[in-house]
Chains A and B, each alone.
Chain A
Amino acid sequence: MSRLARTALLAGAAALIVLGVGPLFAKAQKPAKPEAQKTEAAPSAATRVAKLNLGRVALPEEIAAWDTDVRPDGHGLPPGKGTVKEGDEIFQAQCAACHGEFGEGAGRWPVLAGGQGSLTADRPEKTIGSFWPDLSTVFDYIRRAMPYGNAHSLSADEAYALTAYLLYLNDLVKDEDFELSEKNFTSIKLPNAKNFYDDDRETTEKAFWGQTPCMTNCKSEVKITGRAAVLDVTPDDDKTAPKVD
């Protein structure tokens, strides 16, 4: 038998198998066995995979240009300084249009100050002073993405000054002459830092696992307690009257 003919036969057999299996799958009540999508296990030092030797070494200047991130331990803080007063001036010129003169937020733009003690209230106000755990996040985010639409335009000194002003707006420093720098930065702790903890759903929500759900007569009465239509906040060109035939 030629190779070609054998291939054709094999292909025919495969087609038959597929055809044979098709209807069975269609009738099956239970889903087909889920296919694992996982890649093979992570390599240990012992089973190190050969390198592909693609890419090139990143130069120190290139790393410096992009590596502007700052961590809570101060890792990544650039040299620089700025006072509350200096920050006030920059803030009014570059930030207040969205965030308000005192960080109160204009329209739906983020509120940056106030809200202390509101986290258990009906409408919590999550600001730098009331909610954020780490001051480094403020500095990092300003340098990363602010002002909105003109990112990477502020100097390190300006970012220190703005961060100092935001501390002042949140009553975390009282003195307009307070100067923030890479030297005193990590000494400042935000008040809500202690109220964050890592995901604990697998213990605190353990009850959601392993239950055998009720299938019949699970409730005696069902009442509608709320309707989206009452609030009427859905964008409305979907509100077409249905027709039933």
Chain B
Amino acid sequence: MTSSIIRNPLSRRGFLGAAAAAGAGIGLGPAHAEKPAPDPLITEVQDWNRYLGDGVDKRPYGTPSPFEKHVVRRHVAWLTASPESSVNFTPLHELDGIITPSGLCFERHHGGIAEIDPANHRLMIHGLVEKPLVFTMEDLKRMPRENRIYFLECAANSGMEWRGAQLNGCQFTHGMVHNVMYTGVTLKTLLNEVGLKPNAKWLMLEGADSAGMNRSLPVEKALDDVLIAFGMNGEALRPEQGYPLRAVIPGWEGNLWVKWLRRIEVGDQPWQAREETSKYTDLLADGRSRRFTFYMDAKSVVTNPSPQAPLKHKGRNVLTGIAWSGRGHIERVDVSLDGGRNWRTARIDGPVLEKSLTRFYVDFDWQGEALLIQSRAMDSTGYVQPSKDDLRKVRGVNSIYHNNGIQTWHVRPDGETENVEIG
């Protein structure tokens, strides 16, 4: 079969058939030079075109089509000791635009999901305040609200890649990020209710979960842009994301965004909680460690093509990806198809917001040549996303957290795509 195609190189169908056969052994049937057979999907009446479908209320809370059932969060079993203190990953390669659907936002729990009836939830604010207060969810929903779109990135996103290419899929290498529109009350509003004492310098945020997840937060940030949110993407927070109440700490590492938030203590110094000392500190090559590395530096990744989303067609293709910065907005994204030898500026489409994912595209033609795809983000502070090697020069390979180095995907002539390191 293949040889007959090769003998007829001028036939367009022959070329397409040969490419398909070479790619995966799936041919288009015997190669004819005659006129093409009509598509039965068009010429025959399909079931969905004849019979009645489900009525209203059959799906009172809609879910994605069964044909999208592969679009799910996934975890890497060997990473952690138990699923209750673990992480899974957003399927970035299946998403587009800038908003992450609520059910696909990656999960990170330290003691499982706390299931809390909002009627039984309380938020206490005490410590160095004029009047310690307890708020119910009803109280919070009577306060002035704001809506803001922010990315949340786990400080350990890409943390498995410090020593070299390890996981084959942007879901696994970069999927500890999501982007959501939050609805909530500013923390400034709440702190105004309790009244900060003059020596108030740090806050401690604590969750109601079985890990009592807690972090220290400087009061300047608390008064700047922190939200105490009860809504995400237009509806209540999902249990996995802290229902009924979570902290939103724009641009700063995800671990600070305490879920199931039940308590804020005001103090004059940080608490040195477990999650800001033994974890979420960055061990450098000299054996010393940075702490309170709050900001998430500018970063980007090409989500398509990527190992879970190989190239399937020669000719016209869409390359897309996301970029974000915890220090401002994305100014520009460059893309290379040849491992960083040459770059072109990507087309940004959709809203460009501070501390939010930003979507970029490169529409390109592919003739089956090997590609080494990279993306490089630049933010409004002039920060340029560094290469992994440049990061390693400053930090070594043991810091786990804050790996924002440039990712490389190797696209092979058959379209298969792999996570690689280049030199």
Contact = CB atoms under 8 A, between A and B. Distances in A.
Q: A and B bound?
A: yes
Interface of A: 29-39, 42-43, 48-49, 51-58, 62-63, 66-67, 69, 71-73, 75, 98, 107-110, 119-120, 124, 126, 128, 131-134, 136-137, 140-141, 144-145, 148-149, 151, 195-201, 204-205, 208-211, 213-219, 222-229, 231, 233-235, 238-239, 241-245
A227 B288 contact: no
B383 A209 contact: yes
A51 B193 contact: yes
Contact of A198 (B291, B330, B334): B291
Interface in B302-344: 307-308, 310-314, 329-330, 334, 338-344
Interface string B251-273: 00000000000110101010111
A235 B74 contact: yes
Contact of A244 (B76, B126, B204, B414): B414
Contacts of B110: 145
Contact of B423 (A108, A223, A235, A241): A223
Contact of A132 (B277, B334, B342): B277
Interface of chain A, main secondary structure: loop
Contacts of A233: 76, 78, 166-167
Contacts of B347: 29
A218 B166 contact: no
Contact of A55 (B135, B206, B339, B343): B135
B16 A245 contact: yes
A49 B188 CA distance: 10
B420 interface: yes
Contacts of B330: 31
B343 A213 contact: yes
B410 interface: yes
Interface stretch (B38-46, B57-65, B235-243, B348-356): B348-356
B287 interface: yes
A243 B23 contact: yes
Contacts of A223: 422-423
A141 B85 CA distance: 15
Given A55-B135, A201-B293, A36 B354 contact: yes
Interface residues of B, number: 134
A66 B339 contact: no
A244 B78 contact: no
A134 B142 CA distance: 41
Q: Which 10 A-B pairs have the closest CB atoms?
A: A243-B24, A222-B339, A244-B23, A242-B310, A226-B421, A228-B419, A42-B223, A34-B329, A55-B133, A108-B81
B24 A241 contact: yes
Nearest to B189: A52
A209 B136 CA distance: 44
Interface of B: 16, 19-20, 22-24, 26, 74-78, 80-82, 84-85, 110-111, 124-126, 131-136, 139-140, 142-143, 146, 148-150, 164-169, 172, 186, 188-189, 192-193, 204, 206, 210-212, 214, 220, 223-225, 250, 262-263, 265, 267, 269, 271-274, 277-278, 281, 283, 285-295, 297, 307-308, 310-314, 329-330, 334, 338-344, 347-348, 351-356, 358, 368, 372, 376, 378, 380-384, 386, 390, 394, 398, 410, 414-423
A244 B312 contact: yes
Contacts of A235: 74-77, 172
17 contacts: A29-B347, A37-B225, A42-B224, A43-B188, A55-B193, A58-B124, A126-B278, A145-B274, A151-B210, A208-B297, A216-B342, A217-B341, A223-B422, A233-B78, A235-B77, A244-B20, A244-B368
Given A131-B278, A151-B212, A244-B368, A72 B272 contact: yes
A141 B134 contact: no
B383 A208 contact: yes
A197 B281 CA distance: 10
A56 B125 CA distance: 11
B246 to A, nearest CB: 18
A107 B80 CA distance: 10
A57 to B, nearest CB: 6
